[in-house]
A and B are shown apart, each in its own frame.
Chain A
């Protein structure tokens, strides 16, 4: 799996968009970018994934740069319940193991 780099922490005002960056400069062509989050004391939760194109679902949007060396997870209207550690992972489709790095602690402020 390609190494990913994320800022250790970010703050966001409630109701505003939260933009979480991730660098994955060594990502290979068959590796997808996955985003998970973990709210304190809960199990990790899948958010979204993509390969080349931007993706959107009911939780978030994923913007992947054209060279695929970085991506941004966007929570369009952050709420207090979005406070969590967010993990960006690059792995191939056949990978069996999710390996979480340190992630970004997002704190949504009232």
Chain B
């Protein structure tokens, strides 16, 4: 693994179903992030984690939950998917969210469609 990987690449999901998007990084970065990107709305932060064991809410956290049990993994869970959660989801990481170097590395994205 080099960088950030996300799985699945794409998914079609029935409304009401539970779904977990996976994100793994091998750069030993402290901070990780989940964004969604919708046409015309740009990139919006869902949740973030400054370090393993801590998480925080971003701009659009409702309907999503995250966990950070270790440094490498940061899964995003949709407990009961709704059509408005149809989007492209990007996971990102950075060395530290509290430094001046906000250089975030992004994964390839997961395209999720909720019907």
Interface residues of B in 39-96 (CB under 8 A from A): 42-45, 48, 50, 56, 58-59, 90, 92
Q: Would you give the shortest CB distance from A32 to chain B, in whole angstroms?
A: 6
Q: When the two chains form the complex, which single residue of A44, A49, A96, A99 contacts B48, counting CB atoms closer than 8 Å? A: A96
In the assembled complex, how far is the CB of residue A35 from the closest CB belonging to chain B, in whole angstroms?
11
Q: Is the CB of A96 within 8 A of B106?
A: no
Do A93 and B99 have beta carbons less than 8 Å apart? yes
Q: Closest chain A residue to B90 by CB distance?
A: A43
Number of chain A residues whose Cβ lies closer than 8 Å to a Cβ of chain B = 21
A98 at the interface (CB under 8 A from B): yes
Instruction: Tell me the smallest distance from the CB of A33 to a CB of chain B, in Å.
Output: 11
- Residue pair B42, A100 in contact (C-beta under 8 Å): yes
A45, B106: Cβ atoms closer than 8 Å:
yes
- Number of B residues near A (Cβ < 8 Å) is 28
Which residue of B is nearest A32, CB measured? Answer: B100
A96 and B56 contacting across the interface, CB-CB below 8 Å: yes
Q: How far is the CA of A38 from the CA of B17 in the complex (A)?
A: 31
Q: Quick one: given A97-B58, A101-B42, are A43 and B102 in contact (CB under 8 Å)?
A: no
Residues of A within 8 A of B (CB): 32, 34, 41-46, 49, 51, 91, 93-102
19 contacts between A and B (CB under 8 A): A32-B100, A32-B102, A34-B102, A42-B109, A43-B106, A44-B104, A45-B106, A49-B101, A93-B101, A94-B98, A96-B31, A96-B48, A96-B50, A96-B56, A98-B104, A99-B42, A99-B43, A99-B44, A100-B42
Chain B residues proximal to chain A, CB less than 8 Å = 4, 31, 33, 35, 42-45, 48, 50, 56, 58-59, 90, 92, 97-109
